Amino acid sequence: MIESWPILSILIFLPIFGAFLILLIPNKINQEGEILKNSTTNIKLVSLWTSIMTFLMTLLLSLKFNYTEKQYQFIEFYEWVPSLGIVYRVGLDGLSLPFIVLTAFLVPICILCSWNTIQHKIKEFMISFLILEAFIIGMFSALDIVVFYIFFEAVLIPMFLIIGIWGGVERIYASFKFFLYTLLGSVLMLIAIIYIIGTTGTSDLIQVLDYDFSKTEQLLLFLGFFFSFAVKVPMWPFHTWLPDAHVQAPTAGSIILAGILLKMGGYGFLRFSLPLFPDASLFYQPYIFFLSCVAIVYTSFVAFAQQDIKKLIAYSSVAHMGFVTIGIFCFNTQGLDGAVFQMVSHGIISGALFLAIGVIYERTHTRDINKLGDFATTMPKYSVFLMFFTLGSVGLPGTSGFIGEVLVLIGSWKVNPLVAIISGFSLILGAIYMLRFYRKISFGISENQDKYEIHDVNIREFMILIPLVIFIILFGIFPNIVLNFLKVPHFLILETFK
Amino acid sequence: MYNLIIFLPLIGAILSWILGNRFSSIPTYIVSISCLFLSMIISWIAFYDIAILKNDFEGASLPWINSGEFKALWEFNFDTLSCVMFLVVNTVSAMVHLYSVGYMSHDKSKSRFMAYLSFFTFAMLMLVSSNNLLQLFFGWEGVGVASYLLIGFWYNKKSATSAAVKAFLVNRVGDLGFILGLIFVYAYFDTIMFERIFELAPSMMDVSIVVFNNKLNVIELSCFLLFIGAMGKSAQLFLHTWLPDAMEGPTPVSALIHAATMVTAGVFMVCKLSPLFEYAPNVLTFITLIGALTALFASTIALTQFDIKRVIAYSTCSQLGYMFFAVGLSAYPAAMFHLTTHAFFKALLFLGAGSVIHGLSNEQDMRKMGGCFKKLPVTYILIWIGSLALAGIPFFAGYYSKDMILEVAFASDSQIGYFAFICGCLAAVLTAFYSWRLIYLTFHGDFKGNKSTYDKIHESPLAMLLPLFVLAFGAVFSGWFFKEMFIGVNWDYFWSNSIFILTGNEAIYKAHNVPKWVKLLPIVLAIIGISIATVFYVLIPDLPSRVSKAFRVLHTLFYNKWYFDEIYNYLFVKPIKIFSVFCWNIIDKKIIDGIGPNGISSKVFSLSKISSKIHTGYVYHYSFSMFIGLALLTLILLYNLQVN
């Protein structure tokens, strides 16, 4: 029975439905005009349960998913704009499913971590978060280029709001910078999409995939998509929006930004750039390798110079995403597997690191690395968690961070050993800045320690941090859980290169 | 059942960590120590069963990474080599666990310490039991992390945390070499499984690649890269700087990790990969060279140090050098033999030193010791035993193994062999000298510290002495016990297929037939070293200062550890700091942001200022511009008409 249900659409619209329910919850106001606490608790609970239900549904989907099927699964389509041939068409393959599960996994964590930190406009915050989740899932499951574009751009709206309303002091500058970069990409991508619809006469991704673009068309269209994706990844030198956005965003915003939004770029490359424009991808390969190598080495140095711990992690994200772009443009199984695995693992690890930073920011109200210290004494449990996340970020074997890196290194060695050697240096450079980070925070003596009331992680924080640790280790020891999904889609992508 | 050898310590680590959070330290001790002792007993059984009786045992196996044709497994290998390592690692580790109960009794985070120690043991066992390069790397990095955590165990001590970070980073430099070697092997052998690599090695002998117009042999290159990893882990010359600093950690850690087990991982790795390294003669020569230089170099530093643990640390570094030049001369059994005996006597020396430090309320400076033998009689005897073994006095463990290595060096009959022989002989004199210098400074003469400290000196409790007795037993008898198996006439039966020696590299066969004087030389050298030390520190006590003044340049060089730290600081640490600030402040903030978003927004602002000047508000300005526009339109229209 369940097979005939529009299960994917239910998944996409479930968070929106939850957001609608939240809208109906009235804000009870007492005589002084303050919002009563129990009404906000209801709001939080509804959004938490909505997101948990969504997560369970994604798990259901991945259980019912067939690894060996070459077609898209759970396909649904409804006529939308018949005159332009635009069809609401969604479906899943092994490439999109891990990202959807990751999204649905991170959103409840985000909601839980904003439980007490978001004090004002809690209703609006939860609504924007759920809508954000719906858009992201929609984007990962879109099979129509126009539908993809709409979701891809729509994701930015709640994100702007989250940074711009609940962000830090310089949130306006950060969202402006974020906007300026993404605008550049969006405009070019729109032009490319219009051209594709014009020449092929359809916006159905499956049909467009069969169309052979000429070499010149490919070269230009590739660039049209490239800027949009490169800004999202972000690739060097389009990365400077990321540190600012992270620093200003609230913790939950940072988690989603690092965990999911950055993956939209890599996903876009795999879904569109590679299969649609194989010749152009081959042509641009050396340039992308160059930018990625610069990203890995250069941003590692920049991360080392940071005083703000959020900026430090933001720059380390750029370095880690350098591995993703290298892996994608290796055009071999290990490279692609490594790239996607690195994205999933980075989603968990960087999300965890931002969460961890949020935990201490709540207590100390500072992110200055020189003002923090000695959490190993004051928060022993916390520092154990942070150790796990740090080691994951450093790419220690046994954590998920290692698998992605080593697969990408293997994949890139086959194509260009020099790239593998240069990116291999991140093994050392990553350790340099992450160990400095950990040492400054957990060890040593804090300058103004007695100013703060420091208590160790509470039960709510413990419950969010534990699943992250479990997944980091689980994926490090049994990476095949993720890699099995990727076999068929990567095989199909590589087919276009033969 | 033998799989338990590997997983019992992990279970111990997890349980003691969980228990430690909830209960007092007693259950932690019971759990972690019983896990370790059980594991030790099983590894002795496994040694008897697999290494001696030659029964086969298939370890467990699980898939790890499947990506296209790249496959890695979690798989455990039980051959003679791994069984020897199980025995060494678990025996020393169990003793160190037991010792820690006494040594850490005043510390507030005992359970954390036990958990780390057990975790280290697990990682080390993963390393020695692995059946492919990637799992080896898992253990390799795992022991690195455990070492990082344990060096920085006292995290409020600045020197401890910086030593921990340094150890991790220097090791990572080596690890980069290792992982690149792994990838290189995979790229040309299409597998990371040891068995397949060893099968293919002979056929890959002549395969070479061209890099910048130089032909490089594939096996040579991959072995070289892997050896860089070994240099980092085993603290060989150029990557040795972390080991002395690692002494900031608690003493049981130094005994277990930085003397007996982790630092020997490099030696183990090369022995394990002997079927590959045998086809890389140039790399073997390089290994011999590095090993010989390290043996000599580290012992020169040990002559002048005053920190009791640092002396032993440099001594470890030097002994590892011996093992490496044995490996480089294809005498893998001799290297493994020395590894085993060294594990016992060096752990004994470290734990003995720990007993001294414990007794003297954490004093490590030998200049503040002296005359302690009356107060610490048991420790005194134990340190004597350890030093006798280290110096290579007959019938103690070190005698058999060191003697063998020097004989091999002589018998190899090559330039590099003689070079190693000379370095080894010189280092042997120095070894004996600094060992007795340590004994004399610590236990003889007058006490040079506070009177009140002297009164408080106490012999260690039984929990600390008991493991010392076991290790002392090993330091005395392990040489005699293992000699026939490891390097006796039937050594190739004992090691069976876990070690491979190419025909032509048979220095080890010839070692038994060296001239009589070579066999006697090590004893003579050791006695010379001991006598010099006696003259310097007992008979003529002001001689050391006179000699150090006479050879001021050498003394300063040795005392400052050949200035390696300073040079590295100048070459790497400072430039990295300067460059990273430059990248951030100049490139990121000024150039990229300046041209990118900030540049565009400021351009928009200035352009709009210019364009706003057009909007003057005067009707005649507007009508004039309308007139120009109309004129232009007409012109275009006329032009188009003409063209058509």
B66 touches chain A (CB under 8 A): yes
Domains of chain A: which residue ranges?
2-495
Q: Which of B66, B161, B583 sits opposite A444 (nearest CB)?
A: B161
Q: Which of A241, A305, A435 sits opposite B580 (nearest CB)?
A: A305
Chain A residues with CB-CB distance to B580 below 8 A: 301-305
Which is it for strands B58-67 and A86-92: parallel, antiparallel or unpaired?
unpaired
B176 touches chain A (CB under 8 A): yes
B602 touches chain A (CB under 8 A): no
CA distance A396 to chain B (A): 7
> What is the C-alpha R_g of chain A?
22
pLDDT at B45: 92
Is B172 in contact with A180 (Cβ distance < 8 A)? Answer: no
B108 touches chain A (CB under 8 A): no
Chain A residues with CB-CB distance to B187 below 8 A: 410, 413-414, 417
Chain B residues with CB-CB distance to A183 below 8 A: none
CA distance B34 to chain A (A): 25
Chain B residues with CB-CB distance to A414 below 8 A: 187
Would you state the structure tokens that stand for residue B436, as one six-digit string?
Answer: 């007795």
Name the one residue in this structure whose structure tokens are 């689980």.
Answer: A474
pLDDT at A1: 43
pLDDT for B479-521, tens place per residue?
888 888 888 777 888 888 888 888 777 777 787 788 888 888 8
Report yes or no: A339 and A406 within 8 Å, Cβ to Cβ: no
Helix (H, G, I), strand (E, B) or coil at B131: coil
Residues B312, B315, B320, CA angle at the centre, nearest 5°?
Answer: 130
CA distance A195 to chain B (A): 27
CA distance A306 to chain B (A): 8
Q: Which of A241, A397, A421 sits opposite B141 (nearest CB)?
A: A397
**For residues B238 and B207, what is the distance between their CA atoms, to the nearest angstrom?**
30
pLDDT for A143-181, tens place per residue?
888 889 999 988 888 888 888 888 778 888 888 888 888
Is A425 in contact with B176 (Cβ distance < 8 A)? Answer: yes
CA distance B612 to chain A (A): 23
Is A432 in contact with B137 (Cβ distance < 8 A)? Answer: no
The number of beta carbons lying within 10 Å of the beta carbon of residue B55 is 11
pTM, rounded to two decimals: 0.91
- Listed by number, the residues of chain B in 122-141 with a beta carbon closer than 8 Å to a beta carbon of chain A are 134, 137-138, 140-141
pLDDT score of A36 more than 80: no
Report yes or no: B166 and B242 within 8 Å, Cβ to Cβ: yes
Q: Which of B125, B584, B589 should be substituted to probe chain A, the one whose Cβ sees the most A Cβ atoms within 10 Å?
A: B584
pLDDT score of A205 more than 80: yes
**For residues B443 and B437, what is the distance between their CA atoms, to the nearest angstrom?**
10
Q: What is the largest distance, in Å, between two alpha-carbon atoms of chain B?
A: 119
Q: Minimal Cα distance from B157: which residue of A?
A: A444
pLDDT score of A32 more than 80: no
Partners of residue B61 on adjacent β-strands: B75
Chain B residues with CB-CB distance to A424 below 8 A: 176, 179-180
First-to-last CA distance in chain A? 41
CA distance A348 to chain B (A): 19
Q: Which of A297, A304, A388, A481 should be substituted to probe chain B, the one whose Cβ sees the most B Cβ atoms within 10 Å?
A: A304
pLDDT for B413-472, tens place per residue?
888 889 999 999 999 999 999 999 998 888 887 877 777 777 778 888 888 888 899 999
Q: In the predicted model, what is the mean pLDDT of residues A189-196?
A: 90
Q: Which of A187, A427, A440, A466 should be substituted to probe chain B, the one whose Cβ sees the most B Cβ atoms within 10 Å?
A: A427
Q: Which of A238, A301, A478 sits opposite B579 (nearest CB)?
A: A301
Q: Which of B18, B22, B62, B65 should be substituted to probe chain A, the one whose Cβ sees the most A Cβ atoms within 10 Å?
A: B65
Average model confidence (pLDDT) across chain A: 86
Low-confidence ranges of chain B (pLDDT < 50): none
pLDDT score of A450 more than 70: no
Report yes or no: B596 and A237 within 8 Å, Cβ to Cβ: yes
Q: In the predicted model, what is the mean pLDDT of residues A179-203?
A: 86
**For residues B606 and B600, what is the distance between their CA atoms, to the nearest angstrom?**
10
Quote the ipTM score: 0.90
Q: Label residue A76 by pLDDT band (50, 70, 90).
A: confident
